[in-house]
């Protein structure tokens, strides 16, 4: 609940006698904007200072004597960790966490620069993984969302560095992400952290298939396993945060299959399709576990979402049409559930997906033969019309159910 939302809703509460003006003021005092602004300053300061330290050392490193370099690295790291711990113990949590984050940044920068100083060569992403592990340890120690985000960024950089520089998927980095950072987010149950964790896992899976040159569809087996984990979460918003990234990846893949048939027909089919017996068997097994989780938590109707994971690639003909229909059905399903559950996020998300599906279908069916200026004009009119209709429908539903709506 934010101050802005309370300010918007308070007049209605007062008018209906739910609260008094004095009680509203007391609630607003709990969400003072200036407290949030002040709380952000140490975080922003630590980011700027960390970047400054790294750029300064990188620019002047060769001019500094080796012994002094080593001393600077150790002193900076120890100083930031020590100062951060002191500030946390004194109750200045924001400033303390910001200083600890600087210690993590100094630790990684020190590893890289010492490696350069002694000409140490590495043909793997071990440096970034060690750096990520230090960030993860700090996250557990201080239970900080900021340190978690920093660790998540580092482990993603480690995987990208391994895939991009050495064409190798780092199972160590992936294990650190899933076991350590996944366990943390599972325990803390922050929707934002769950969503970012799910996005990171999906990103790692994409690099797994591309760097190991294995059939691309295998990516959707562990992605669906992530989706299944969301079904077993009793808290619906957390489950949806966990499932959003796998669904988004499947949706984007469907868009690719519709818009670029010449690409996957021209020799890519074998790069996309795994052995059907094992792949389809794994999907069926995961679907069964997913359905069991949905039924346990009273969400059986959401099983329709799995239409995005159906491998239409194994069907001899009509692949593009089936993928296009799956995009439309999924979009309409999300819209329908949003209106049924009176959940603003789902309504907005479904609206965006439906407009996207319409644009994909329109581009697919008309791009080749229609005059390009006419193509954009008609496309713009269709999108504006859809946007007006869906927003009008959303406003009607949310206005009717505004009072007592838990999803606002």
Q: Look at residue 408 in the predicted model and tell me its pLDDT.
A: 45
What percent of the chain is helix, strand and coil (3-state, nearest 5)?
85, 0, 15
List the structure tokens of 52: 């400054």
Distance from C-alpha of 27 to C-alpha of 257, rounded to nearest angstrom: 51
Q: Which segments of 145-190 does DSSP mark as H helices, in order?
A: 145-166, 171-175, 182-188
In 3D space, the residue among 111, 110, 4, 92 whose CA is nearest the CA of residue 43 turns out to be 92
How many Cβ atoms from other residues are within 10 Å of residue 106's Cβ? 24
pLDDT band at 27; cut points 50, 70, 90: confident
Query: What does the pLDDT look like over 208-260, one tens digit per residue?
Result: 988 878 888 999 999 999 999 988 888 777 788 888 899 999 999 988 888 88
Lowest mean pLDDT among 45-54, 68-77, 169-178: 45-54
* Chain centre to alpha carbon of residue 312: 26
pTM for this predicted structure: 0.76
Q: Look at residue 58 in the predicted model and tell me its pLDDT.
A: 65
130 pLDDT higher than 70: yes
Query: What does the pLDDT look like over 163-176, one tens digit per residue?
Result: 888 888 999 999 99
Distance from C-alpha of 103 to C-alpha of 95, rounded to nearest angstrom: 13
Contacts of 353 (CB under 8 A, 6+ apart): 251, 327, 330, 331, 334, 335
Query: What does the pLDDT look like over 72-85, one tens digit per residue?
Result: 778 888 888 888 88
Q: Look at residue 165 in the predicted model and tell me its pLDDT.
A: 86
């Amino acid at each position: 609940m934010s101050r802005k939302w309370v300010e918007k809703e308070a007049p209605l509460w007062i008018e209906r006698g739910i609260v008094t003006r004095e009680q509203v003021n007391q609630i607003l005092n709990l969400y003072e904007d200036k407290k949030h602004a002040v709380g952000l300053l140490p975080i922003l300061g630590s980011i700027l200072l960390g970047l400054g330290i790294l750029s300064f050392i990188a620019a002047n490193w060769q001019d500094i004597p080796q012994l002094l370099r080593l001393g600077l690295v150790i002193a900076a790291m120890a100083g930031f960790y020590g100062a951060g711990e002191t500030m946390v113990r004194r109750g200045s949590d924001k400033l303390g966490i910001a200083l600890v984050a600087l210690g993590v940044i100094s630790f990684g920068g020190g590893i890289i620069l010492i490696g350069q100083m002694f000409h140490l060569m590495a043909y793997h992403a071990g440096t970034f993984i060690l750096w990520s592990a230090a960030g993860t340890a700090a996250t557990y120690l201080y239970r900080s969302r900021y340190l978690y985000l920093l660790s998540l960024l580092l482990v993603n950089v480690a995987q990208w560095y391994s895939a991009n520089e050495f064409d190798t998927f780092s199972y160590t980095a992936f294990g650190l992400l899933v076991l350590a950072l996944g366990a943390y987010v599972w325990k803390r149950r922050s929707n934002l952290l769950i969503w970012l964790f799910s996005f990171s896992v999906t990103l790692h899976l994409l690099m797994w298939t591309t760097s190991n040159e294995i059939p691309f569809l295998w990516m959707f087996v562990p992605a669906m396993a992530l989706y299944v984990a969301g079904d077993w979460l009793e808290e619906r918003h957390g489950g949806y945060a966990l499932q959003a990234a796998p669904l988004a990846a499947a949706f984007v893949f469907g868009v690719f299959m519709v818009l670029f048939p010449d690409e996957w027909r021209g020799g890519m089919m074998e790069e996309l399709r795994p052995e059907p017996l094992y792949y389809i068997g794994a999907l069926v097994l995961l679907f069964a576990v997913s359905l069991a989780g949905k039924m346990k938590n009273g969400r059986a109707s959401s099983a329709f979402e799995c239409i995005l994971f159906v491998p239409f690639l194994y069907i001899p003909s009509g692949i593009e049409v089936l993928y296009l229909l799956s995009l439309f059905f999924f979009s309409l399903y999300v819209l329908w559930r949003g209106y049924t559950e009176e959940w603003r996020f789902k309504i907005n998300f479904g609206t965006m997906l439906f407009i996207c599906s319409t644009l994909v279908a329109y581009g697919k069916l008309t791009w080749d033969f229609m005059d390009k200026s006419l193509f954009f004009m008609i496309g713009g009119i269709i999108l504006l019309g859809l946007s007006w209709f869906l927003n009008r429908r959303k406003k009607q539903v949310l206005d009717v159910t505004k009072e007592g709506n838990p999803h606002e």
